[in-house]
Amino acid sequence: MNKKIELQELGLKDYKDAWDYQEELFKQILALKIKNRREELNLETPNYFLLVEHPHVYTLGKSGDIKHLLISEEELEKRDAKYYKINRGGDITYHGPGQLVGYPILDLENFFTDIHKYLRLLEEMVISTLKEYGLKAERSPGETGVWLDVGTPFARKICAMGVRASRWVTMHGFALNVNANLGYFDNIIPCGIKGKAVTSLNVELGKKEIPMVEVQEKLLKHFSRLFEAEILK
C-alpha cells in the first residue's frame, strides 16, 4: 500500500485544461491496476493531490439540472465565465480566483475502500482547517460539503465537494472559498439547494484577503493526518 502522495501546485489554470490533466492521471492509475490484475502483478500505484485556482467557471455534475444556471450564454461571456457539464457527482457549482480547489487523485486501495469515509475525511480536513481560524464549521445532514451555522436561518456553505471514483480511483474533489468573489454565486442555485447562502473565509474573518499559501499548508497538514499519508512536495 503506497501512502505517499505527490503534491502538484498548478497555479491559475483553465478548468478544462485541469480536468483533462486529471483524466490523464486517473486513466494512468486505472491502466496500472488493470495490468496488475490481468498479469497478476503487484506494481505500486501512485497518488496525486492537485491544488489549483480556476478562472471564472460554472460546472454541472452528472445529476445536476441546467435550470440551476440562472444566466444565458451571452451573460456568461459578459462576466468572462465559462460553463462545462462534467462527470463528477453533485449539481452546479462555481469556481474562480480566490477559491482553493483540490483534486486528490488517489488509489483508495492504498488507504481504505469506502467512498463515504473518503468524503467524510475530506470534509473533516476542511472543518479542522477552519477551526484553526476560530470558525465552527460542520456538516449539513444530507448535503455534502462544509457549512457554517447549520440548522439556523443563517446557514451558509463555505466548501463544495463532488467526486468521481472508478475501481477505487478518485478524481475531482473540493472547492474552499478563501477570498472568493461571492457575486458569481448569484448566477446559480449552488449545488441545487435553494435558499442557502454561500460564504468565504475572508468574509467570515472580516479581512480583505487571507494568504492562500497559509490555508493550503493547514489543509495539507490535516489531510496528511487524516489519511495517514506522506505528502511529497
Residue 89 in this model has a pLDDT that exceeds 80:
no
The pLDDT confidence band at residue 77, using thresholds 50, 70 and 90, is: confident
Looking at residue 37, its pLDDT comes to: 94
The CATH-assigned architecture of domain 4-232 is 2-Layer Sandwich (3.30)
11 is in an annotated binding site: no
- Which pLDDT band, with edges at 50, 70 and 90, does 58 fall under? very high
Question: Which residue among 25, 137, 191, 215 is the active-site one?
Answer: 191
pTM of the model: 0.93
20 is in an annotated binding site: no
Say whether 88 counts as a known binding-site residue: yes
The pLDDT tens digits for 151-197 are: 999 999 999 998 999 999 999 999 999 999 999 988 887 655 555 78
Average of per-residue pLDDT values in the chain: 93
- At residue 51, the pLDDT reads 98
Report the DSSP pairing between strands 57-60 and 92-95: antiparallel
Residue 81 marked ligand-binding: no
Residues comprising the chain, all counted: 233
In whole angstroms, what is the distance from residue 190 CA to residue 168 CA?
27
Q: Where are the domains of the chain?
A: 4-232
Is position 159 annotated as part of the catalytic site? no
* Nine cell digits for residue 56: 471564472
Task: Label residue 90 by pLDDT band (50, 70, 90).
Answer: confident
Q: Phi-psi region for residue 195, left (φ > 0), alpha (ψ -120 to 50) or beta?
A: left
Q: Is 174 annotated in some ligand binding site?
A: yes
- Lowest-confidence range among 18-22, 168-172, 188-192, 217-221? 188-192
- What pLDDT is attached to residue 186? 87
Which H, E and C letters describe the chain, residue by residue? CCCEEEEEEEEECCHHHHHHHHHHHHHHHHHHHHHHHHCCCCCCCCCEEEEEECCCEEEECCCCCHHHECCCHHHHHHCCCEEEECCCCCCEEEECCCEEEEEEECEHHHCCCCHHHHHHHHHHHHHHHHHCCCCCEEEECCEEEEEECCCCCCCEEEEEEEEEEECCEEEEEEEEECCCCHHHHHHECHHHCCCCEECCHHHHHCCCCCCHHHHHHHHHHHHHHHHCCEEEC
Q: What is the pLDDT of residues 32-57, one digit of tens each?
A: 999 999 999 999 999 999 999 999 99
Please give the pLDDT value at position 192.
Answer: 52
Q: Summarize pLDDT for 110-125 with one digit per residue, the tens.
A: 999 999 999 999 999 9
Q: Is 175 annotated as a binding residue?
A: yes
Lowest-pLDDT choice from 27-31, 89-93, 105-109, 153-157: 89-93
